[in-house]
Amino acid sequence: MENGPCYVPNQRDVAHEAFDAEVILIHFPSGHYFRLDEGGTAVWAAVSRGATASDAAAALAAAFEVEAATAEAAAATFLADLEKRGLVLVGEPPADRPAPAEPPAKRAAFQPPTIEEFADLQELFLVDPIHEVDEAGWPHAKP
Query: Once rounded to an integer, what is the mean pLDDT over residues 50-79?
Result: 94
Over 90: is that where the pLDDT of 41 sits?
Answer: yes
Give residue limits of the domains in the chain: 6-125
pLDDT digits (tens, 9 = 90+) for 10-32: 999 999 999 888 999 999 888 89
pLDDT for the residue numbered 96: 67
Over 70: is that where the pLDDT of 39 sits?
Answer: yes
Residue 51 to residue 59: CA distance in whole angstroms: 10
Query: Once rounded to an integer, what is the mean pLDDT over residues 92-115?
Result: 72
For residue 14, give Cα distances in angstroms to 10, 34, 86.
6, 10, 8
Residue 122 to residue 110: CA distance in whole angstroms: 32
pLDDT for the residue numbered 58: 93
3-state secondary structure of 49: coil
Over 60: is that where the pLDDT of 142 sits?
Answer: no
Give me the phi and psi of 22, to 5 degrees please.
Answer: -145, 160
User: 88 forms bridges with which residues in the sheet?
Assistant: 9
Query: Once rounded to an integer, what is the mean pLDDT over residues 92-103?
Result: 63
Which among 106, 76, 101, 63 has a CA at the least distance from the CA of 2? 76
